[in-house]
Copies of this chain bind each other. A is one copy, B any other.
Amino acid sequence: MSDTYVIIHGAWHTGAEMEAVAKHMRESGHVVHCPTLAGNRPEDDRSTMGLNDAIESAVRFIEEKDLHNVRLVGHSYGGMVISGVADRIADRLERLVYVNAFVPLDGQCLNDLVPPHYVELFDSIAAQNNNAVMLPFPVWREAFINDADLALAQSSYAKLNPHPYHTFIDPISLKQPLAQLNIGKSYLNCQQDIALPHGLPWHPRLSERLGLFRLVECAGSHETWFSNPPRLAQAIIEAGRD
């Protein structure tokens, strides 16, 4: 059985960093697309692009390829994007799979869902960089990719790109709560993910907003995309299958 997946990357990433996982999923017979969102392409103006640009670019990707029965996967910030896509073209989707990803309510922005010390950090970096935010390496190494060795932490960090800050502060507009959408919902929780602190965790704080959802878990950090692609690919398939 071959399912169609579209994987939406997180902040600072592009589709290219999702390819290691996608390759393992394709080996299991699935069709997997890894587009890069508007705002994270080399040519994009980080100072002006916002959440709606990112959502629209994902919608356009699915419509232009005329994809149906899509299992739409979002990682981290990608959860904001797949939520917006689902609100617009649910008829093309079979299931949403949130991978340690944000699940917003109508009117919320990403910064509403993270602890205050992140907002302060991002505010300060954005102010100095014309709205393009980067993550400091010590935070990446200790809290994002805590399961990798230093060499992998460094080589993966080198692939990141500055992220357009408007996508963190633009509120999302949703016509109905995600829990009411008549498609499947899964939450994949990497168990050692401390990119969000335990007082404001990914799961169950955000997963429970999905209503009836399927939980899948595997060992790994927020960046298991780099530290263990075959294991994450297996978990995504368990989360995305019927």
Contacts and interface: CB of A to CB of B under 8 A. Distances in A.
Interface of A: 138-139, 141-143, 146-147, 149-150, 184, 191-192, 194, 197-199, 203-204, 207-208, 212-217, 219, 238, 241-242
Contacts of A191: 217
Contacts of A143: 212-214
Contact of A146 (B141, B194, B204, B215): B215
The 10 A-B pairs of least Cβ separation, nearest first, read A198-B204, A142-B214, A146-B214, A150-B242, A194-B215, A142-B212, A192-B215, A192-B217, A146-B215, A149-B241
A241 B154 CA distance: 14
Contact of A139 (B184, B204, B212, B217): B212
Nearest to A139: B212
12 contacts: A143-B212, A143-B214, A146-B214, A146-B215, A149-B241, A192-B215, A192-B217, A194-B215, A197-B208, A198-B208, A199-B204, A199-B208
A50 B121 CA distance: 42
Contacts of A242: 150
User: How many chain copies?
Assistant: 3
A9 B71 CA distance: 35
A146 B139 CA distance: 33
B241 A147 contact: no
Given A191-B217, A192-B215, A198-B204, 9 more contacts: A142-B213, A149-B241, A150-B241, A150-B242, A192-B217, A194-B213, A198-B207, A199-B204, A199-B208
A106 to B, nearest CB: 21
Nearest to A241: B149
A120 B219 CA distance: 35
Nearest to A197: B208
Contacts of A147: 216, 238
A30 B194 CA distance: 27
Nearest to A205: B198
Given A139-B212, A147-B216, A197 B204 contact: yes
A161 B57 CA distance: 48
